[in-house]
Amino acid sequence: MQSERPGMDEVQVHKDVLLDQSLDALYEKRSSTREQALASMVDAFNSDLQHEFVEKKFATLLHQCLHCIKKGSSKSNIIEQNPLSIAIITVGLGDQAQEILEESVTPLSQALKSSREALKITSILECLAVITFVGGANPEQTERSMQIIWQMIHPKLGSNVVATKPSPAVITTIVSSWAFLLTTVDQWTLGPKLWQEIVTYLSSLLEKDDRSVRTAAGEALALILSWEL
């Protein structure tokens, strides 16, 4: 085992160097360079838990991911959500997780307003759900994210919506993300009228042709029923 240790250390050092290089590349002006760097970071995060790297480079990683979201380039608008989600899971509960949520919620909300591609929208929604689940320190923060998510699917509840009609994949992600956050809320301040609108809309989704939409709606309704009981 001792003979293997130097090799393992060398591998980790190599990973750290690659991650540092990828993080530095996020400062580049060319979007293709930033996209490649983000993809490399996602691969590294997916292959191994990079706790030390996230701890050491937390501020820079958060800043650069948010910068990519605000710029809204093609591929990076999708893949930069992954480092954010993985980073908040890596740091766990605490001040850093709350900082990720508070710094990210507005850029993510704005990205939802401007996005038209289903893959981008679902990626942003999933990211918002994950960072809220981990970083939400109080019910108000969770409710805020739930409202942002719900307004994507039910325009008359607010102005934060995409103009085009959501695809089945987007509807499924919206309902699943919203219901996922509902599991973390002990008391929700929405009034009876809004609850009725939510239940009515979810019930209407049970008649849709797409199976994933029906499944997501059924699970959300079951959760609401158990939550109310």
Domain ranges of the chain: 16-91, 119-156+165-228
Tally of CA atoms within 13 A in the half-sphere of 71 that contains its CB: 20
Task: Please tell me the pTM assigned to this model.
Answer: 0.76
Burial degree of 194 (CB within 10 A; 0-12, 13-18, 19+): middle
What pLDDT is attached to residue 157? 45
Q: Ranked by mean pLDDT, which of 8-12, 53-57, 75-79 comes out on top?
A: 53-57
Name which residue leads in pLDDT, 39 or 8. 39
What pLDDT is attached to residue 120? 82
What pLDDT is attached to residue 225? 83
For 173-214, the pLDDT digits (tens) are: 999 999 999 888 765 666 677 778 888 999 999 999 999 999
Angle in degrees, 0-180, between the axes of helices 95-114 and 81-91, rounded to the nearest 10? 160
Burial 83-96 (b: 16+ CB within 10 A, else e): bbbbbbbbbeeeeb
Report phi then psi at 163, rounded to 5.
Answer: -65, -35
